[in-house]
A = this chain, B = another copy of it.
């Protein structure tokens, strides 16, 4: 079950994401939220937001879970064949706004896909 009540934590998490395509870990969110919030609360709220199709998650570098705002999802339909990019210098992660056409083997029922690209972002290229 997703979000049921309007709370400060929920508002602040969504405010932290804003309209950007940046992906944030629970830790990053905690440091960005002004109001003192417990990490458990953040994890639970992120779960609920993901249930509702408001955010989506994926595994970034160092086996850390990242969350980002969804832009074309509902609680019934999740379409995330867009790649994510993580800069190995500044560690920022974000959604890339194009889709990767994935042809999957006929013998496999693929229900979800995650594409993570790593490298240097435009600000960190030497």
Contact = CB atoms under 8 A, between A and B. Distances in A.
Interface in A105-126: 105, 107-122, 125
Contacts of A83: 102, 113
A96 interface: yes
A63 B25 CA distance: 13
Given A100-B102, A105-B96, A118 B122 contact: no
A59 interface: yes
A35 interface: no
A71 interface: no
Most chain B beta carbons < 10 A, residue from A85, A100, A114, A115: A114
Given A65-B63, A100-B100, A102-B100, A118 B113 contact: yes
A108 B88 contact: no
Contact of A117 (B64, B88, B107, B113): B113
A115 B118 contact: no
A104 interface: yes
Nearest to A104: B117
Interface string A21-32: 000000000000
B100 A111 contact: no
A105 to B, nearest CB: 7
